[in-house]
Each structure stands twice: as structure tokens, then as C-alpha cells.
């Protein structure tokens, strides 16, 4: 084979990308001297784009399909000069294949806790993490702004920058939302949608789109979570006195079943009863007595008022308390001769004769002297 055939065979006839590396975003087609033969075949598969670059300028962007390459198909390259040989003239161009598929399961998370003010718990620190999916939305812009002339650009080369942008926007959005900590779990979907819409314009400036953004967890520091668990436990327990008695009874039962002879069992039960009695008394005492403070003296309980029944027009009415009886005596409903009865009386008596009600009537004047 002569030198002419050798040179001709080195020119590229088929341009394609079949690499199965799932992390490669941009791959430059390798060729000697960047020479592409006129009429070469270009194969662009689904989820790919092919970008032709000549002398630093993007000549064209090819979507999925099969193409026969001629300078007439590439306006920017139509003015290029081919070799002065006796076969089809080649032209020079760099070919970059861009993966247009989704790159899923990208992780994000806060390196340091986020300081927030909660309406119920006050100042708190939160950590958050989740995942997102991205894809190249504009291959021309992506190569221009991010990949450059890198022969193989991996997703790991951009994820750190994107993650920092996500965390900054997420922290700002979470602080502005004013959502209470205990209500955050009910707003994960809303937060995810809001963050995705907020950061997508900034990603698109780099030729990238966020196709899915998920907030998976927002958590408190471990010691705060333990305190919150105790608070929740107290709410579930309810009556602390009954819970203590229940726990003590279980302890006594376990002590009674422990091997060690009758004396050991008796001592265990005795100590259990004594402890239960002491704890019950402690919980039943007022707060001032448990803390060593002198409880203030209070008045004795108010004695119950008597209830009276009346016989009016041959019918029983009532019961009435002392205040009601006094009012009826004032308006004339209750007269001295009205029969009354209350618990403890032998029978019905006139109101003016019963010790409990005769004071409701003023003193009667003495009889007039004889004329």
C-alpha cells in the first residue's frame, strides 16, 4: 500500500460515540490532526448531541440522527480549504458528543447546621439533605461555560459547584418560609418544588437543567431530638402518678420472681411497697412542699347551704337556697304562715316559726292596747 492510500485510510469515515460510562457528560471524538473526510458518516444516538467546533467557534449542533458530512452542511466550515490531493478534500474540526440524558441520584446536603429561629423552640440548628437529577439543556452553552476543551468531562467535575448553589438557595428559602420545625415534614413536596423553580434559572445560565429536586430529610441535632422525644413521651404517658404506680408494680413483680429465697422475696416486696408509697405521696404533695417551700394557709371550705321546699297552694315547690328564700320573703311570695321543710326537720313548719327562716321576717308589732 502506497503513502497515498495510507493517508487516505487515516481520514475519518464514521464519527460516533458508544461509550457506556454513565458519568461522562462530554466526550471529544479522537482523531489525528482533527481531519474529517468529506462525506463522512455522523451518527448521533438518542440522548446525545454532537457539537462541531472549528478554531474555537461552534460550527453546528446535531441532534439525534445519521448525517453525511459535507461542508455545505456546515455553513461555518464551507469557507475552509481542503487539502490539494487527488481524493475528496478533508476539513478540520473538533467533534464533541454531549450526553443529553438525565444524571440521577446526585446528592446534596448541608456541611454545617443552618441557624433558624423557630416560633415554638426558639433558636435551633437544622441539617438537611436530599437528591436531585440534572441534564444538559443547552449543549452549546454547556461547552462554552463549563466543559471547554476538556476531552472527557465527568459529572463529578460540576456537582460540587451545583451543590454549593443548591445549599445557598435552600438555606435562604427555608429561613424565609417561617415554617415551624414540627410542620416541615408536611411541606417537603412544597419546599422541593419551590427550590427547583428558584435555582433552575441559575443552572440554565450554565446550560444545565434540574429535572428533579427532592428534600429527603430535615433534622435537629441529636441532643435536641432526644429532648423532643422525652417531651413526646411525657405527652403519651399522661397521668404521671398512675404511670409511676404501674412501673413500681412491674418492679415488684420482677423482684418477687427473682431467685434468692423467701427472705429475699419478702424484703424485695417490702422495699417495693415502701418505695411506691413514698413516690405516690411525693407526687400527691403540692409543688411548694416538694420544693421545700411553706404552703400558704388557706380558708376552710365553704359549708353547703340548706335547701328548702315550700308548700304553696297545696303543691310542693323547690328546692330553694337561703338567698332565694330571702328574696321571696322580701317580695311577699314567702309569708310567715307558709309551710317549709328541709332535710333534718321532723315535719313541715311555718316559715315564721322555723329557726332557719324566722329571721327573714321583721319583728311583728305587739297587739294594740285596749281602747
- Between CA 177 and CA 116 the distance in angstroms is 11
Rounded CA gap, 231 and 241, in Å? 17
Which of 101-105, 231-235, 236-240, 243-247 reaches the highest mean pLDDT?
A: 101-105
- Mean pLDDT, residues 290-311 taken together: 69
Strands 308-312 and 114-118: unpaired
Residue 267 has pLDDT above 80, yes or no: no
**Mean pLDDT rounded to a whole number for the chain:** 78
- Distance, in Å, from the CA atom of 184 to the CA atom of 167, rounded to the nearest integer, reads 17
Which of 126-135, 266-275, 311-320 bottoms out in mean pLDDT, i.e. has the lowest?
Answer: 266-275
Rounded-to-integer distance, Cα 341 and Cα 356, Å:
10
Per-residue model confidence (pLDDT) at position 302: 65
pLDDT at 358 over 70: yes
DSSP letter for 353, please.
T
pLDDT at position 75 is 46
> Is-cis flag, bond preceding 122, omega within 30?
no
Q: What is the pLDDT of residues 54-111, one digit of tens each?
A: 777 887 899 999 988 775 555 444 433 443 333 355 667 789 999 999 999 999 998 8
Q: 138-142, 246-250, 310-314: which range is least confident on average? A: 246-250
> What contacts 237, CB < 8 A, 6 or more positions away?
243
DSSP string, 270-330: HHHHHHHHHHHHHHHS-HHHHTTPPPPP-PPPPPPPP-EEEEETTEEEEEE-HHHHHHHHH
d(CA 202, CA 170): 13
SS3 at position 127: strand
pTM value surpassing 0.75: no
Amino acid at each position: 500500500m502506497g503513502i497515498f492510500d495510507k493517508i487516505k485510510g487515516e481520514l475519518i469515515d464514521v464519527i460516533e460515540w458508544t461509550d457506556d460510562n454513565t458519568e461522562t457528560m462530554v466526550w471529544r471524538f479522537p482523531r489525528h490532526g482533527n481531519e474529517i473526510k468529506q462525506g463522512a458518516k455522523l451518527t448521533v444516538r438518542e440522548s446525545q448531541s454532537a457539537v462541531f467546533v472549528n478554531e474555537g467557534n461552534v460550527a453546528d449542533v446535531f441532534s439525534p440522527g445519521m448525517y453525511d458530512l459535507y461542508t455545505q452542511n456546515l455553513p461555518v466550515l464551507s469557507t475552509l480549504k481542503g487539502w490539494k490531493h487527488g481524493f475528496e478534500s478533508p476539513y478540520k474540526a473538533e467533534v464533541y458528543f454531549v450526553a443529553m440524558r438525565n444524571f440521577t441520584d446526585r446528592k446534596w446536603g448541608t456541611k454545617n447546621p443552618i441557624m433558624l429561629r423557630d416560633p415554638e423552640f426558639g433558636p435551633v440548628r437544622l441539617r438537611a439533605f436530599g437528591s436531585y437529577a440534572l441534564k444538559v439543556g443547552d449543549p452549546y452553552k454547556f461547552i462554552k461555560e463549563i466543559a471547554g476543551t476538556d476531552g472527557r468531562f465527568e459529572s463529578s467535575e460540576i456537582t460540587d459547584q451545583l451543590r454549593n448553589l443548591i445549599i445557598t438557595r435552600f438555606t435562604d428559602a427555608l429561613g424565609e418560609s417561617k415554617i415551624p420545625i414540627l410542620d416541615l415534614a408536611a411541606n417537603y413536596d412544597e419546599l422541593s418544588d419551590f427550590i427547583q423553580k428558584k435555582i433552575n434559572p441559575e443552572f440554565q445560565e450554565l446550560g444545565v437543567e434540574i429535572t428533579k429536586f427532592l428534600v429527603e430529610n430535615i433534622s435537629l441535632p441529636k441532643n435536641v431530638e432526644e429532648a423532643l422525644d422525652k417531651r413526646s413521651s411525657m405527652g403519651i404517658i399522661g397521668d404521671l402518678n398512675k404511670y409511676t404506680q404501674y412501673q413500681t408494680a412491674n418492679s415488684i413483680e420482677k423482684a418477687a420472681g427473682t431467685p434468692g429465697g423467701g427472705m429475699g422475696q419478702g424484703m424485695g416486696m417490702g422495699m417495693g411497697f415502701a418505695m411506691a408509697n413514698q413516690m405516690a405521696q411525693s407526687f400527691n404533695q403540692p409543688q411548694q412542699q416538694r420544693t421545700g417551700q411553706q404552703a400558704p394557709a388557706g380558708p376552710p371550705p365553704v359549708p353547703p347551704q340548706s335547701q328548702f321546699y315550700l308548700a304553696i297552694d297545696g303543691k310542693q315547690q323547690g328546692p330553694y337556697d337561703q338567698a332565694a328564700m330571702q328574696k321571696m320573703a322580701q317580695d311577699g311570695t314567702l309569708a310567715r304562715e307558709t309551710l317549709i321543710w328541709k332535710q333534718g326537720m321532723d315535719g313541715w313548719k311555718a316559715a315564721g316559726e322555723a329557726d332557719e327562716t324566722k329571721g327573714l321576717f321583721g319583728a311583728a308589732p305587739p297587739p294594740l292596747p285596749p281602747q
